[in-house]
Amino acid sequence: MKKWKISAGTASIIGLSAIRVQEPTTTAYLMLGENCLQACKFCAQSRTSQARAHFLSRVSWPEFESSLVAATIADAARQGKIRRICLQVVGDADNWLNTIQSLAILKSGNDIPISVSSCINSADQAQQLFDCGAARIGIALDGATPRIFQSSKHSSWDKRWNLLLECAQAFPGKISTHLIVGLGETEREMISRIAVCLDHDITVGLFAFTPVRGTEWQHRPPPPIECYRRVQVAYYLLRRGYSPDLFSFEQDKLVGFSIDRQQLYQELADGKAFQTSGCSYCNRPYYNERPGQLFYNYPRQLNAQEAVLALEQCRLK
Which parts of this chain interact with ligand SF4 (CB under 6 A)?
A: 27, 84, 86, 115, 117, 138, 176, 178, 205, 278-279, 282, 284
Q: What's the min distance (Å) between Cβ of 5 and ligand SF4?
A: 14
Task: Please give the Cα distance from 65 to 105 (Å, whole number).
Answer: 12
Q: Which is nearer to ligand SF4, 115 or 145 (CB)?
A: 115
Q: Which is nearer to ligand SF4, 197 or 279 (CB)?
A: 279
Q: Which is nearer to ligand SF4, 72 or 115 (CB)?
A: 115
Q: What's the min distance (Å) between Cβ of 176 and ligand SF4?
A: 5
Task: Please give the Cα distance from 72 to 67 (Å, whole number).
Answer: 9
Q: What's the min distance (Å) between Cβ of 200 and ligand SF4?
A: 16
Q: Which is nearer to ligand SF4, 230 or 284 (CB)?
A: 284
Residue 217 identity: W
Could you tell me whether strands 27-32 and 84-89 are parallel, antiparallel, or unpaired per DSSP bridges? Answer: parallel
Q: Which is nearer to ligand SF4, 42 or 257 (CB)?
A: 42
Q: What's the min distance (Å) between Cβ of 208 and ligand SF4?
A: 14
Q: Which is nearer to ligand SF4, 9 or 205 (CB)?
A: 205
Question: What are the Cα distances from residue 128, in Å, to 113, 137, 236, 284?
Answer: 16, 11, 32, 27
Q: Which is nearer to ligand SF4, 59 or 254 (CB)?
A: 59
Selection from 184, 282, 267 nearest residue 232 by Cα: 267
Q: What's the min distance (Å) between Cβ of 308 and ligand SF4?
A: 27
CA angle 172, 109, 126 (to 5 degrees): 25
Task: Please give the Cα distance from 112 to 204 (Å, whole number).
Answer: 20
Q: What residues have CB less than 8 Å from 70, skipping those under 6 apart?
A: 105, 106, 108, 109, 110
Q: Are 69 and 4 in contact (CB under 8 A)?
A: yes
Q: What residues have CB less than 8 Å from 45, skipping those under 6 apart?
A: 31, 34, 36, 51, 53, 56, 90
Residue 107 class from Cβ within 10 Å (0-12 exposed, 13-18 middle, 19+ buried)? middle
Q: What's the min distance (Å) between Cβ of 115 and ligand SF4?
A: 4
Question: What are the Cα distances from residue 184, in Å, to 47, 54, 276, 290?
Answer: 22, 27, 21, 23
* Residue, CB closest to ligand SF4: 278
Q: Are 181 and 227 in contact (CB under 8 A)?
A: yes
Q: What's the min distance (Å) between Cβ of 219 and ligand SF4?
A: 25
Q: What's the min distance (Å) between Cβ of 68 and ligand SF4?
A: 21
Q: Which is nearer to ligand SF4, 82 or 314 (CB)?
A: 82
